[in-house]
Amino acid sequence: MEIKTILEEFEVIAKDPVTYLRNLSENGKKIVLYTCSYVPDEIIWAFGFHPARVLGISETHQLSNSHLQPYCCPTAKAVLEDILSKKLPAAHVVFSNTCDTMQRVSDIVRINTDLEHFDFMVPTRLDSDTSKKYLREQILNLAGFLKRRSLLLEQDRECFDDVSKINSAMELFERIYRSVLKLAEIAQMSNKISNKDMHNIFFASAIMDREDLAKKIEQLNDCIKESTISNSVKKKIVLTGSLCCFPGIYEILDNAGAKVVYDDLCSGIRPYKRRIKLTGDWAYDIAKSLLERPICAAKFKGLFERILYLKDIVKKYRAQGIIFLVPKFCDPHLFDYPDIKKEMDVPVLLLETDEKNQIKGPERTRIEAFLETI
């Protein structure tokens, strides 16, 4: 299969995840929605469900505006809109305590929908054994919630073997993480995959059938290996922030000849920077891998964790600038911004968007001016 064909498949899913999920649902897949990359989607997969991340695809907020004030972040509003509009076919939703806003969105969904609801509580502190133990218990609780529902779906209840199903899911997901990371490494040096292509891959990966995903990414890696890798990138950019609130940015960067050498968004590489090592205690293994992945700004793992992490990334990829892309009212990232800007050795551009996928003329000019100056 050609690179172009595979990339087009990812683009179709990224552009229209609703149709993709509806097709899955019509073919008998039971979909479990989840809202945060700290939710271990391998568990959802293990119990026979299809995990689909709610990525806030809604561009208008008609329903969510009657639940959330105007000063609420547009990503949270879009996530709520995705769920309340029932466009995503699902009977269950797993929330996580991402930030104050998302915790309230969780309550609003629980009160206003018929979805079976689970709050997956990830410790805010990720720096202690106490946190690891608590996270392990939350993983077991989530597994319990899913198991009770999956038993209702299982034809032959006696055949249900938790450990072997979870282990095989963990192996599949480890395969995905490794191949996505490999692809991202190649993509940052290659002109064969654009910024927009890579975004489509990351975005679609949280929606797709995971076996199909693993195969497609591996195929892509094989195809690219056979093609020439060019390292003629002009401007190297690190993108950081929360869930991507402006997909249009990738195209702007492509057109300006800039390469996102590291997409540190929550809808970028961050969720894939996990390593699962099987030790015989699967819940512990998953907890460990979640605690060791790059942290979200809403979590705490030491005073300088995110600053040092971004400094390392900039150095490793020889980035010339950082674009800090956040939805307006996103407290965790907006609190981080001044100290990160101060500590970086390269210029940092802050872009705030107040509507999904809306960047107005002046911001577009700022991006272009920023790229010219670095």
Partner 1 sequence: MNMEYKKEPIKTKSKMKEIMTNYFLEAFDAKNKGKKVAWITSGGPVEPLIAMDIIPIYPENHGAMIGASKLGEKLVSYAEGLGYSCDLCSYATADIACSRGEKGPIGHLPEPDMLICCNNICSTVVKWYEIQARYFNVPLFILDTPMCHTNFTEDTKEYVRRQFDELFLFLETVCKKKMDFDRLEEVGRLSVQAQKLWQEILDTTTHSPAPMSAFDAFFHLALIVTLRGTEICVNYYRELLEEMKDRIKNKICAVPNEKYRVLWDNLPIWYKTKWLSEKFAERDVCLVADTYTSAWCSSLRYIDENDFLGSLAPAYTRIYLNQGIDTMANEIIKMIDKYKVHGIIMHSNRSCKPYSFGQYDIQKIIRNKTKVPVLIIEADMLDQRSFSDAQIESRIDAFCELLHS
Binding site for partner 1 (CB under 8 A): 66-69, 71-72, 97, 99-101, 103-108, 110-112, 119, 121, 123-125, 128, 130-131, 133-134, 137-138, 141, 297-298, 300, 303-304, 328-329, 331-332, 334-339, 341, 352
Least spacing, CB of residue 272 vs partner 1, in Å: 25
Whichever of 201 and 322 has its CB closer to partner 1, that residue is 322
In the complex with partner 1, the residue whose CB is nearer, 128 or 373, is 128
Closest CA to 244 of 333, 175, 344: 333
Closest distance to partner 1 from the beta carbon of 305 (Å): 9
Selection from 274, 276, 307, 308 nearest residue 293 by Cα: 274
CA gap 65, 72 in Å, rounded: 9
Shortest CB 87 distance to partner 1, Å = 21
Q: Is 267:206 a contact under the CB 8 Å cutoff?
A: yes
Dig out the tokens for 26 from the structure: 């019509």
Please say which residue, 92 or 192, places its beta carbon nearer to partner 1.
Answer: 92
Shortest CB 341 distance to partner 1, Å? 6
Contact 49, 150 (CB under 8 A): yes
Residue 358 corresponds to which tokens in the numbers above? 């809306």
Rounded least distance, CB 84 to partner 1, Å: 12
Query: Closer CB to partner 1, residue 181 or residue 307?
Result: 307
- Closest to partner 1 by CB, 130 vs 227, is 130
Least separation, in Å, of the C-beta of 95 and partner 1?
A: 8
The C-alpha atoms of residue 109 and residue 106 are separated, in whole angstroms, by 5
Residue closer to partner 1 (CB basis): 96 or 194:
96
Query: Closest distance between partner 1 and the C-beta of residue 270, in Å?
Result: 18
Nearer to partner 1, 99 or 204 (CB): 99
What number of residues does the chain have? Answer: 374
For partner 1, which is the closer residue by CB, 87 or 341? 341
What is the closest distance, in whole angstroms, from the C-beta atom of residue 140 to partner 1 in the complex? 9
User: Which of 63, 116, 64 is closest to 90 using CA atoms?
Assistant: 116
Question: Between 337 and 370, whose beta carbon lies closer to partner 1?
Answer: 337
Considering the complex, what minimum distance in angstroms separates the CB of residue 227 from partner 1?
43
> Least distance from C-beta 294 to partner 1, angstroms?
16
- Name which of 214 and 298 has its Cβ closer to partner 1: 298
Contacts of residue 26, Cβ cutoff 8 Å, sequence gap at least 6:
none
Q: For residue 57, give Cα distances in angstroms to 16, 77, 112.
A: 9, 10, 20
